[in-house]
Structure 1
């Protein structure tokens, strides 16, 4: 069996956050990082490949925090019937001393016909074992949260790719905006669209399923207002408020979009260069650059002051938060040059 295949990102030394999708069975694999969803998928991927190759494989699972001495060596010992063994160990970050001792002992010799996958979510507990695993060049799979929008979009694209389906770029952005950064929820949303919708997934289809979410609604209002489409912005806002949406996240979306436009307005650089300087994904810079065409520096400054005032009003300083946000949306839309 081959080891895991960690791939490198475009930056020197950067680990590809999606490399877990290529993990393959090996005598020993370490899953490293706090993202439980990635760790869970990695466990599943290795186990499914092991079972596909040898359906009679015996699977044993341990929680390292409640582990008792001798259990690992017993599970890895040769079977009377010669079946292969597959061992999964979770909670290495809170491992017992018994597990630490047995794991170090196991690492010295290993066992024939045994694959083992372990997950350490982070921290210093078990550092002696982690150092030993590193020294032994044990394949390590990064299980890190996806913080960059570009990584979340790639996650969505790959979820559809594995089902041999396609999702349009704008639809992927809408899905990330609607669902957020929780990978389990993102994967579930992708699965729902794969099962329920046919053909290539469009933004309209994403809106049909997830457009009612607060984050998506806020960005829809903001995008319409910043491009001078006041009627669309107000109708979307009023529908959101009528169905129970709090004005606070809508104001937050307006503020974020205005700040992005202010950052790129009047700057003569490519979206790639600006993305690197500002720490924004290129598609977000491109969108802000397109919206900046509607704005002068003076209008931007006035609307940034307006949205700061509105933020205070919807958080308790005003008597009517719904009126405050509607007034802000109207003024922003009127300030955008058509």
Structure 2
């Protein structure tokens, strides 16, 4: 039987893809241990939920119903919220699995050191660099039952980039399309069209509202054989990055680059792009790319149509014509 997750879990780090993966693993373990695939998940941002609401969520259920409570952005939580979370850590309610995310920085940085001593299970979601990123690629291939050479790892990183979400999607697609026989030659062949048009170029055109250019670039990329999953991953990443920086104040690209998991130049560019997006457009844009991700992974009967439709919607939203 699957091992039950700890009653209180802390996902620590700034790498959002790893944080999402850790959260999904905890949720899956909780549901498997309860033998109930429909155990509800309540997700709340620490700065948005009120103390009474949180207290009710963390209290024992009159009907002994299992539930999973996710509280994100604990680094910015108010003191009454922190106090309630600590009470739940010290005295967890039966059937409640608590999952908290913390970047490791912010005004509540000390919690990173104190909570593990109180019994919190820590799950790392820190930024990967150098050898760790190579190890991530190797592990992703192994998770699909594929063993690859160091040359393949380097080629994938050179072709796809350093984004973990994009890397995971690309590796999944490579493993599936090659039947698990991933060689340096197969990687080169797979990405031979990317020198002319890349998913990142399509995404940049879309999120800056250049609808005609974005559609033309997307069609060219599809003609050249750029995989649908990479186009989708680039769009997902661009919109998600905009959502992360939108509304933030006093961001210094050089000082804060590590906090956002981007290079300084990329953070500065994302900040410029974010100024074009309203909160409503960001919300809808996130829904568009979420649907696209599912469409290119088999939900849609035409992945080409799904990509072009998403590019049109994102560009329209960026141009304020959503």
The TM-score with structure 1 as length reference comes to 0.53
Residue 270 (structure 2) aligns with: none
1:77 aligns with 2:65: no
CA distance in 1, matches of 2:70, 2:128: 24
Q: State how 1:1-338 maps to structure 2 within 5 Å.
A: 25-54=5-34, 55=36, 56-127=38-109, 129-148=111-130, 150-213=131-194
Q: Please report how far the alpha carbon of residue 78 of structure 1 lies from its aligned counterpart in structure 2 after TM superposition.
A: 2.8
Contact 1:69-1:102 within 8 A present in 2 as well: yes
Bigger RCO of structures 1 and 2 (CA < 8 A, at least 6 apart): 2
What are structure 1's unaligned runs of at least 5 residues?
4-23, 215-242, 244-338
Q: Tell me the alpha carbon deviations over residues 32-59 of structure 1, each in whole angstroms, 9 at most, x when there is no partner.
A: 1111111010001111121122214232
CA distance in 2, matches of 1:96, 1:66: 10
Q: Please report how far the alpha carbon of residue 163 of structure 1 lies from its aligned counterpart in structure 2 after TM superposition.
A: 1.8
Q: Secondary structure at the match of 1:171?
A: helix
Q: Secondary structure at the match of 1:147?
A: coil
Q: Please report how far the alpha carbon of residue 99 of structure 1 lies from its aligned counterpart in structure 2 after TM superposition.
A: 1.7
Structure possessing the higher radius of gyration over alpha carbons: 1
Q: Please report how far the alpha carbon of residue 208 of structure 1 lies from its aligned counterpart in structure 2 after TM superposition.
A: 1.7
Contact 1:31-1:119 within 8 A present in 2 as well: yes
CA 1:210 to 1:96, structure 2 compared with 1: closer, same or farther past 3 Å? farther
Aligned residue pairs total 196
Contact 2:152-2:184 within 8 A present in 1 as well: yes
What are structure 2's unaligned runs of at least 5 residues?
196-223, 225-322
Q: Tell me the alpha carbon deviations over residues 193-219 of structure 1, each in whole angstroms, 9 at most, x when there is no partner.
A: 1222213201111112224546xxxxx
Please give the root-mean-square deviation of Cα atoms over the aligned residues, in Å.
2.7
Q: Secondary structure at the match of 1:65?
A: coil
CA distance in 2, matches of 1:34, 1:120: 8
CA distance in 2, matches of 1:51, 1:94: 29
Runs of 4+ with >3 A deviation: 127-132, 211-214
CA distance in 2, matches of 1:192, 1:126: 40
Q: Secondary structure at the match of 1:87?
A: strand
Q: Secondary structure at the match of 1:66?
A: coil
Q: Tell me the alpha carbon deviations over residues 237-258 of structure 1, each in whole angstroms, 9 at most, x when there is no partner.
A: xxxxxx9xxxxxxxxxxxxxxx
Q: Please report how far the alpha carbon of residue 173 of structure 1 lies from its aligned counterpart in structure 2 after TM superposition.
A: 1.4
Contact 1:2-1:26 within 8 A present in 2 as well: no
Q: Secondary structure at the match of 2:51?
A: coil
Contact 1:2-1:25 within 8 A present in 2 as well: no
CA distance in 2, matches of 1:199, 1:183: 20
